[in-house]
Amino acid sequence: MSRKYVAVFLFLLAPVFAPAQITQELESIAERLSALRGDVSAGGKTPSGETKELTFSFPQEVIPHLAVGGAWSTSLTFVNLSLEAEAVFPIRFFTPQGTPWVVAPQRLAPGSVFNLRIPIGGSLTIELPSRTLDIKTGWAFVEHPLHGAVGGHAIFRDNGGPSRPIPFEAVVPLSTWTEGAAIEVGGIEARIFFLPFDNTRGFNTCLAFVNSSSFMDEGFGLIALTEAGNPISFPLDDGIFLLESSEQTSFCLRGRFPHLDGRRGSLVVFRLANSLWLSAFAFRFDPQGAFTTFFPMSPLL
Q: What is the CATH number of the domain that holds 282?
A: 2.60.120
pLDDT band at residue 22 under the 50/70/90 scheme: low
pLDDT for position 20: 60
Whether residue 301 lies inside any domain: the answer is no
Look up the pTM and report it: 0.84
Which of 117, 141, 175 corresponds to the end of one domain? 175
Q: Of 25, 2, 17, which is closest to residue 240 (Cα–Cα)?
A: 25
Cβ proximity of 10 and 17 under 8 Å = no
Whether residue 8 lies inside any domain: the answer is no
The residues, any chain, with a CB within 8 Å of residue 218's CB and separated by 6 or more, are 37, 211, 242, 243, 271, 275, 276, 277, 278
Instruction: Provide the CA 50 distance to its chain's centre, in angstroms.
Output: 22
pLDDT for position 60: 81
pLDDT band at residue 166 under the 50/70/90 scheme: confident
d(CA 97, CA 223): 25
Which of 175, 190, 211 corresponds to the end of one domain? 175
- The CATH number linked to 111 is 2.60.290
92 phi/psi in degrees, rounded to 5: -120, 135
pLDDT band at residue 216 under the 50/70/90 scheme: confident
Whether residue 161 is predicted with pLDDT greater than 50 in this model: the reply is yes
pLDDT for position 184: 79
Q: What is the mean pLDDT of residues 85-99?
A: 95
Whether residue 208 is predicted with pLDDT greater than 90 in this model: the reply is yes
> What does pLDDT average to over the chain?
82
Instruction: Provide the CA 61 distance to its chain's centre, in angstroms.
Output: 12
Boundaries of domain holding 229: 19-48+178-294
Three-class SS state of 31: helix
d(CA 243, CA 285): 25
- Higher-confidence residue of 206 and 255: namely 206
pLDDT for position 91: 95
pLDDT in tens, 240-267: 788 999 999 999 999 778 889 999 999 9
pLDDT for position 186: 67
Q: Answer yes or no: do 139 and 162 share one domain.
A: yes
Whether residue 250 lies inside any domain: the answer is yes
Q: How many domains does the chain have?
A: 2
Q: Answer yes or no: do 198 and 276 share one domain.
A: yes
Q: What is the DSSP letter of 116?
A: E
Q: Answer yes or no: do 37 and 107 share one domain.
A: no
Beta bridge partners of 96: none
Whether residue 211 is predicted with pLDDT greater than 80 in this model: the reply is yes
Q: Which of 58-67, 177-186, 206-215, 285-294 has the lowest mean pLDDT?
A: 177-186
Q: Answer yes or no: do 166 and 70 share one domain.
A: yes
Q: Answer yes or no: do 206 and 232 share one domain.
A: yes
Whether residue 1 is predicted with pLDDT greater than 90 in this model: the reply is no
pLDDT band at residue 67 under the 50/70/90 scheme: very high
